[in-house]
A and B are shown apart, each in its own frame.
Chain A
């Protein structure tokens, strides 16, 4: 390989070089490890780096490539968000509670990527238990944005977004409960895909809000997202919400043709007070799709304004139940005390950070006797209304186009004092989780040197159309999203 360093390749570029014998997985992995060594002191995108194991995996991948048994991801270095279980490698959720937790089993996505021959270089930093939008809630350290290290990478999957942007991995996996893949992808200038709820198994993903959580890829372009999704998607008997459905080959959906696609632009996603640069970049992106032959129609999703309340009742309620398992008895942090009840309260006082406690408290309140009907039950009903509103929109439109986030990356510390201002970062991404539909954030250029994301949403299991449009847009717009770092 001449010119660009191997760590800067996309998956499909690296695949071509690996298969042509111009590059080995060991060279590629060594290049990525050197890049990690160079930029990690600034970025801090990793909780754990698994360099030695990665080189062993790369050697095995090279054997497999030489034997002519390579798949699309064989020999490709990746990172995993640190809430995805990896057998023998600690999985912390960036929490004191799980600081020393070493899973005895792999998540289904981990196992699938292992059998595909991908090379794990480490585990990505995140907001504790995936609760946050800036990665400042990590109990260990914040991650920095590769486009400006004084700014946040977004969250909760800030480590994966920063790592892929900066060349510390060719791809990463994150989880998206209310925007935790798409919002950091937008802020770091990479592609982030949240698949349809149930398309990718959640087995081995540390649970936050089980009816909203979904795993998906961070990549440098849309073709890579399609390649990774094809490896991840598929029914898993270990996840009872997993969809049993004939999985398509997503890469073959990327025809470049969006002529005749009808794309709705909901006016509620362009509120007053949004960063003016964000709106113009996103509107310019939508114009690009129009120029490619898509039909663009302004429309309305009036219940969008209720998504924030629905999300912040349902997600904390499910979290308060899911996180009840952290009792200091079976695994995880365990505080010293005389009796079981004292030890339980102290373990959770010392093991959880402020945002996690806030969500457990909110959820406990919303589920408690006397308030259940007014909060949780009401939110579940409004959730149905929001789902129906999307279903109705998709009877008329193939896709919806919106900004991913109302703002570009903000400075560290700018929103930590006010939880509600932090929650508002996800107002455009939460509705897709509430409805369970797929959505992607694709780079739409920069404003003052900081990336902006265009979000496309599709109906249930509409990933092929979603990826086709995102891919056509990406090729036509041809934005340079390389970070300054």
Chain B
């Protein structure tokens, strides 16, 4: 499974991970190598087999809608890199 440079650039864009052209090239070669290892899975007959999303067997865990004390606003914001007053500050989304 040989990925193209363009494909790897597209994946990096989707994943929002900045990469230099050199990093893209290393990633292309390593990802191609790893994806080769996945080929064997296509030989497994999975006709009619259900998927496993997680293995503990519990489903649709619900609780009564009762309020409880959570973090205070200052605790919740204590690690925010940029704040303004009581708000988290973000950079411009649109030009």
Give residues in A with beta carbon < 8 Å to B: 100-102, 104-105, 196-198, 210-211, 237, 240-244, 303, 305-306, 308-310, 312-313, 320, 324, 328-332, 334, 337-341, 343-346, 348-350, 352, 357-358, 360-362, 364-365, 368, 374-375, 377-385, 387, 419-420, 423, 434-436, 460
Contact = CB atoms under 8 A, between A and B. Distances in A.
Interface residues of B, number: 49
B6 interface: no
A329 B88 contact: yes
26 contacts: A104-B78, A105-B71, A241-B54, A241-B58, A244-B58, A303-B44, A305-B40, A309-B37, A309-B41, A313-B38, A320-B15, A324-B16, A329-B81, A340-B92, A341-B16, A344-B16, A348-B16, A357-B23, A361-B11, A361-B12, A382-B46, A383-B52, A384-B49, A387-B55, A436-B54, A436-B56
A289 B28 CA distance: 48
Contact of B38 (A240, A309, A331, A361): A309
Contacts of A197: 54-56
B18 to A, nearest CB: 3
Contacts of A423: 34
Contacts of B8: 361
Interface string B65-95: 0000001000110111110000010111101
A330 B17 contact: no
B41 A339 contact: no
Contact of A306 (B14, B41, B58): B41
A211 B53 contact: yes
B17 A349 contact: yes
Contact of B19 (A320, A349, A383, A387): A349
Contacts of B18: 345-346, 348-350
Contacts of B63: 237
Given A237-B63, A334-B82, A381-B49, A352 B55 contact: no
Given A381-B46, A382-B46, A330 B34 contact: no
Nearest to A211: B54
A435 B55 contact: yes
Contact of A379 (B31, B33, B41): B41
Contact of B11 (A237, A328, A365, A382): A365
A244 B49 CA distance: 28
**Chain A interface main SS type:** helix
User: Chain B interface secondary structure, helix, strand, loop or mixed?
Assistant: loop
Interface of B: 8, 11-12, 14-19, 23, 27, 30-31, 33-35, 37-38, 40-42, 44, 46, 49-58, 61, 63, 71, 75-76, 78-82, 88, 90-93, 95
A329 B80 contact: yes
A380 B51 contact: yes
A360 B40 CA distance: 22
A312 B38 contact: yes
Nearest to A384: B52
A206 to B, nearest CB: 13
B51 A210 contact: no
Given A312-B37, A384-B51, 19 more contacts: A105-B71, A198-B56, A243-B57, A244-B58, A305-B40, A309-B38, A309-B40, A320-B15, A329-B81, A330-B80, A339-B92, A348-B15, A365-B11, A365-B35, A368-B11, A385-B46, A419-B30, A420-B34, A436-B55
A329 B90 contact: yes
Nearest to A361: B11
Given A360-B17, A382-B46, A419-B34, A210 B91 contact: no
A338 B82 contact: no
A340 B93 contact: yes
Contacts of B81: 328-329, 331-332, 334
Contact of B95 (A339, A368, A435): A339
Contacts of A384: 49-52
B14 to A, nearest CB: 5
Nearest to B49: A381
Given A349-B19, A380-B51, A104 B37 contact: no
